[in-house]
Amino acid sequence: MNPITVSANVGGAIIEIQSGKYAKQADGAVTVRLGETIVIVAAVAAIKAKAGQEFFPLTVDYREKAAAAGRFPGGYFKREGRPTEKEILTCRLTDRPIRPLFPKGWFNEVQVQTVLLSADGENDPDILSINGASAALTVSDIPWAGPLGAVRVGRVDGQFVANPTHVQQRASDIDLIYVGSETELVMFEGAANEISEADFAAALKFGQASVQPIIAAQKELQSKCGKPKRQITVNVVPDQILDEAKSLAGDKIITALLIPGKLAREAAVKALFDDVGAKLVAKFGADKVNEFVLKDAAYYIQKEAVRGLALDQGKRLDGRDFDQVRPIWGEVGLLPRAHGSATFARGETLAISLATLGTTDDAQEFDSYTGGANEKKFILHYNFPNFSVGETGRITGPGRREIGHGALAERSLLPVLPGADYPYAVRIVSEIMESNGSTSMAAVCSGSLALMDAGVPLKRAVAGISVGLCTAFDAAGKASRYQLMTDIIGWEDAFCDMDCKIAGSEVGITGFQLDLKLKGIPISLMEQALEKARVARLSILGEMAKVIAAPRTEMSRYAPRIVQVRVNPEKIGALIGPGGKNIKRIVEESGCEINIEDDGTVNIYSVSAEGMQIARNAIEGMTAEAELNRIYRGRVVTIKEFGAFVEFLPGKDGLVHISELANFRVKKTEDIVKIGDEIWVKCLGVDEKGKVRLSRRAAMEDREKELAGDAAPAAAPAPDAAPQA
């Protein structure tokens, strides 16, 4: 088969999708190109499910190659290693919109892999990965209810831009990754500079219009080279067993679900289904009622009950109104050694955040093959230990979920941090202590409080909230009615349809993320969710203000203080010295950390006032210019027949000619001074080569006049002199 290429005009830029040239042994494969950025995406599904498989094993992988940008990987090993944070976040961006469109109950393993082949440094490949995954699945024989279209939305000078370049992104006040079907919104994620809900909704509508050419191109590609979809068998609980399980559970499931408290509720539901499971095994036999059947039946019954409570009875599991936020409390300054610390609790979700201030050397540097930033001065790390949900499990490094939640919280706080000239690197570590819904938004709230406790001059506080959705469908599969729920708990997330996280300040939205279990929702419904999130956010910000209303004016005594000294950029080499000799000496003597910028800005970090002064004096002395007619205290460093060289500033010498040593004729330099002597000298001038002429004679004469002038008033005070204390 000859390669087939289709194209889509998105905002004036052409996206090309080609199939049939590479990876022809995959079930579906495409290359996607924008500018000179190219990715290949391949999708493969196993012929059959593994024995005992009880969930849908979808793996999405995205990898960047240094060769795609014509570079070598950094580090000792010149081969790409474990995935970077950018790669992991792109995996999640690709996974989340495609996952709900696979058939329910189909457990064959599916792998979707993206490899970056070419990077032009202007067009980000993450959007191409999402579109490529959709196209590869669309042309494959894998059962999937696509296609989808993805676009990045920016806004430059008040105008929305589709797939902005990195240069345009830096001038944009919104970074929205939008994924939609032909008719509905499927997923979004990103950040904004405190934009209004109305502007955000307008960006969503722009995104929906922008993805249509991409979807049309994929449908054209499918018509030209798509494979017929394979026949599949889905795993479902037999109707007879499910009906019996529902009969055995009866109204007892409602009673159990409405028990207050997460742990008590979970224990009651578990006890109920342990009893139901035993009776099902006794009636149908262990061969028909295996572990999968029991779990799936329990899930279906709980899901039906939770949704029935919300849609038919107007009830939530914890008894709240649908617009009500759970009780909030917070605390700051709880950890004495942290530069800033805070606890934020919302119901049974609790996060502790620790803020650390560091030097600019503490900023995170990373390889950036695709363009954009290669350094971060603000980092937020989110950790979700097993004990936060009362469970055991494997203890490893952060997983994709933790990295994704940390990135969302980081993006949400970044717009309110001080600008690029803020001399500190800042790190937040958010430890989840208890979890029952939307811990990432708790990390935003606790992180905001911790930053203010650390004295970081935030523009405004930031809070986040999650809004859920429960939908009923008619016989044709169309949504007939729905219920939005503010501040969802864990089981509302698990058994309902949406987790929409919106973070922001009192001014506007700063961060957002949407996860759907549905194939899409109307943007009009999302506009309602945005308004509910706004009202809830303002309420939470009010509660946070009771804990700490503004950033502290004093930092922790354990945080490094900073003094900025400006020096002539031409003096940087002299300040550093050969092999770093001078700067190393200053660091050793003062105990400070010193960073020197190319523009001549010298940042001195110290927790000691004495050390700070030592470093500042040394730097200012080494970089100071000789001032005409100024008197200095210097040290004789060299003796010559024609005079003496005196170090009058750190590292800077000047010549005192033999005729300038005294107010009488000097026959021999050593008659007046010796090496190591400290003497007063006056600057007579600096020649065009920078050589400084000094005079001991002139300095002594000036000091004698000065001392005489000081003594005269004491001997004969002026009539209007102030009385002495």
Residue 323 lies in a domain: no
Which domain, by its residues, includes 15?
4-225
Domain assignment present for residue 719? The answer is: no
CB atoms within 10 A of CB 633: 11
Do the beta carbons of residue 84 and residue 64 sit within 8 Å? yes
**pTM to 2 decimals?**
0.86
DSSP assigned state of 521: B
> What is the C-alpha separation between 341 and 36, in angstroms, rounded?
46
User: Distances in Å between the alpha carbon of 214 and those of 30, 161, 257?
Assistant: 14, 16, 44
CA–CA distance, 343 with 544 (Å, rounded to integer):
11
Quick check: is 379 in a domain?
yes
* Same domain for 539 and 499: yes
Residues 166 and 247 in one domain: no
The reported pLDDT for the residue numbered 606 is: 87
Question: What Å distances lie between residue 76 and 72, 80, 86, CA to CA?
Answer: 11, 11, 21
595: domain CATH number is 3.30.1370.10
> In this predicted structure, what is the pLDDT of residue 620?
79
Based on the domain organization, do 596 and 668 belong to the same domain?
Answer: no
SS3 percent helix, strand, coil of the chain, rounded to 5, is 35, 30, 35
E-strand stretches of 559-622: 561-566, 593-596, 601-606
In a domain, 182, yes or no: yes
Whether 554 maps to a domain, the answer reads: no
| 97 and 221 fall within a common domain | yes
The DSSP-derived string for 358-386 is E-GGGSEE---SSSS-SEESEEEEEE--G
Residue 468 bridge partners (DSSP):
485, 499
Q: Are the CB atoms for 451 and 548 separated by under 8 Å?
A: no
Q: Which of residues 171, 197, 225 is at a domain's end?
A: 225
432 & 402 share domain: yes
Residues 605 and 675 in one domain: no
- CATH value at residue 26: 3.30.230.70
Same domain, 702 and 610: no
Pairwise CA distance, residues 493 & 437, whole Å: 7
One domain, residues 510 and 540:
yes
Structure tokens at 539: 């309420």
| Residue 330, amino acid | G
- Residue 556 neighbours by CB distance under 10 Å: 22
CATH of the domain at 697: 2.40.50.140
Tokens at 335, concatenated? 């950890």
Q: How many Å apart are CA 551 and CA 555, to the nearest integer?
A: 9
Quick one: 264 and 390 in the same domain?
no
Residues 337 and 462 in one domain: yes
Structural domain tally of the chain? Answer: 5
Q: What is the pLDDT of residue 363?
A: 86
Could you list the mean pLDDT of each consecutive 10-residue stretch along the chain, which spans 725 residues? 92 96 96 97 95 90 93 84 93 97 95 97 95 98 96 96 94 97 96 97 98 98 96 90 94 95 94 95 90 91 96 94 97 95 97 94 83 86 94 90 96 95 93 95 98 97 98 82 96 95 98 95 96 98 97 91 86 86 89 88 87 86 82 92 89 89 91 92 88 92 77 35 31
Count, in order, helices (H) and strands (E) of the chain: 16, 29
Determine, yes or no, domain membership for 235: no
CATH of the domain at 246: 1.10.10
> Do the domain assignments include residue 680?
yes
CB atoms within 10 A of CB 590: 22
Domain shared by 522 and 619, yes or no:
no
Q: Verify that 281 and 263 share a domain, yes or no.
A: yes
The answer to whether residue 149 sits within a structural domain is yes
